[in-house]
């Protein structure tokens, strides 16, 4: 069985920053980067708030640069999912679908995935009109009518992006106020292609012959239910932490995030955490990267104390 000093699970800004520090710090580092590497930034367009890029940088380009940087310092990156972590004496065994690796320390950086509404029709029409990624699927809706659901920065970003393709974008929000940052909400409010649909909940997504036809909407102020014809429907209602594979290895919060008093240490020595799988508050690429750096430095300290390195 291959033995590493640290295994990092996840390849978003948190995991790859952690890997940069552990690999550059001389630790034998394996990154289990997932079948789709790069995390949530792979589904975004230009990132304007990652310092150092005056004109912004495309999310996938930033992640590609981070990947090359960790590989340059000798980290091995495997593009597979971790399926379990087991305790073996003082070490840990990390399993994938067909392999297992021993390690002295683990950094969990698995991030979060897009939440679903769980309304009738959503699962059946997923990939047939229902999507969680405007940058991936937006081009399919040239001159079509689409809707985005949500009131956070993701919903603003998705709606704005979709105006480059669609003829009309409905932005459906369940309340009368966005939680998005003012700059992004203002951009949406001033876009003539976007119509904001306040106080409205999605009750059902309906298709004919496996193709989206309309959404059943409920205006909770007017107590009115109606059909909204649509060609595309984009979910942007937040994310859920990717922690199911952890089983009971470490303590989770009641919402399923990794429990940690300081955002880095978990309930088990030698297992550290960073990024959106722990952080429910800031959830920015730059804060995830900062957490990745801290997790790596704590890992190095832990391994020095154990005299592994």
Question: Catalytic residue numbers?
Answer: 133, 136-137
Provide the strand spans (E) within 11-80: 29-32, 46-47, 57-58, 76-78
Torsion of CA 35, 37, 43, 48, to 10 degrees: 170
Q: Which residues bind ligand NAP (CB under 6 A)?
A: 49, 117, 149-155, 157, 174-175, 179, 236-239, 283
Could you give the strand order of the β-sheet that contains 211-219, starting from the edge strand earlier in sequence? 200-208, 211-219, 224-229
Spatial separation of the C-alpha atoms in residues 181 and 80, rounded to whole Å = 35
Spatial separation of the C-alpha atoms in residues 28 and 286, rounded to whole Å = 25
Q: How far is the CB of 116 from ligand NAP (least distance, A)?
A: 8
Place of tokens 């409205």: 200
Q: How far is the CB of 178 from ligand NAP (least distance, A)?
A: 7
Instruction: Kindly tell me which of 53 and 73 has the beta carbon lying closer to ligand NAP.
Output: 53
Residue nearest to ligand NAP (CB): 152
Instruction: Kindly tell me which of 5 and 137 has the beta carbon lying closer to ligand NAP.
Output: 137
Q: How many CB atoms lie within 10 A of CB 247?
A: 12
Instruction: Kindly tell me which of 3 and 175 has the beta carbon lying closer to ligand NAP.
Output: 175
Instruction: Kindly tell me which of 129 and 152 has the beta carbon lying closer to ligand NAP.
Output: 152
CA dihedral for 21, 300, 35, 157, sign (positive or negative): negative
Q: How far is the CB of 174 from ligand NAP (least distance, A)?
A: 5
Q: How far is the CB of 269 from ligand NAP (least distance, A)?
A: 30
Contact of 212 with 130, CB cutoff 8 Å: yes
């Amino acid at each position: 069985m291959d033995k590493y000093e640290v295994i990092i699970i996840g390849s978003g800004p948190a995991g790859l920053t952690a890997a940069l520090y552990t690999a550059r710090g001389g630790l034998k580092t394996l990154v289990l980067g997932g079948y789709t590497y790069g995390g949530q930034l792979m589904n975004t367009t230009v990132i304007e708030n990652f310092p150092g890029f005056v004109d912004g940088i495309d999310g996938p380009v930033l992640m590609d640069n981070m990947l090359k940087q960790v590989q340059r310092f000798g980290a091995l990156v495997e593009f597979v999912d971790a399926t379990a972590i087991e305790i073996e004496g003082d070490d840990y065994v990390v399993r994938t679908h067909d392999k297992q690796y021993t390690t002295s320390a683990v950094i969990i950086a698995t991030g979060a995935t897009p939440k679903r509404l769980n309304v009738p029709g959503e699962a059946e029409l997923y990939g047939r009109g229902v999507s969680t990624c405007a940058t991936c699927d937006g081009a399919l809706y040239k001159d079509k009518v689409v809707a985005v659901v949500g009131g956070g920065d993701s919903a603003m970003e998705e709606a704005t992006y979709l105006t480059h393709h669609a003829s009309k974008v409905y932005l459906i929000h369940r309340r009368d106020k966005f939680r998005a940052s003012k700059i992004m909400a203002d951009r949406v409010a001033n876009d003539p292609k976007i119509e904001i649909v306040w106080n409205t909940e999605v009750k059902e997504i309906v298709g004919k012959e496996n193709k989206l036809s309309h959404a059943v909407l409920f205006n909770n102020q007017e107590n009115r239910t109606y059909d909204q014809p649509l060609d595309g429907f984009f979910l942007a209602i937040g994310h859920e932490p990717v922690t199911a594979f952890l089983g009971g290895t470490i303590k989770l919060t009641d919402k399923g995030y990794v429990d940690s008093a300081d955002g880095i240490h978990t309930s088990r020595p030698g297992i550290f955490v960073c990024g959106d799988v722990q952080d429910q508050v800031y959830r920015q690429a730059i804060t995830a990267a900062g957490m990745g750096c801290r997790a790596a430095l704590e890992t190095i300290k832990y391994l020095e104390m154990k005299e592994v390195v």
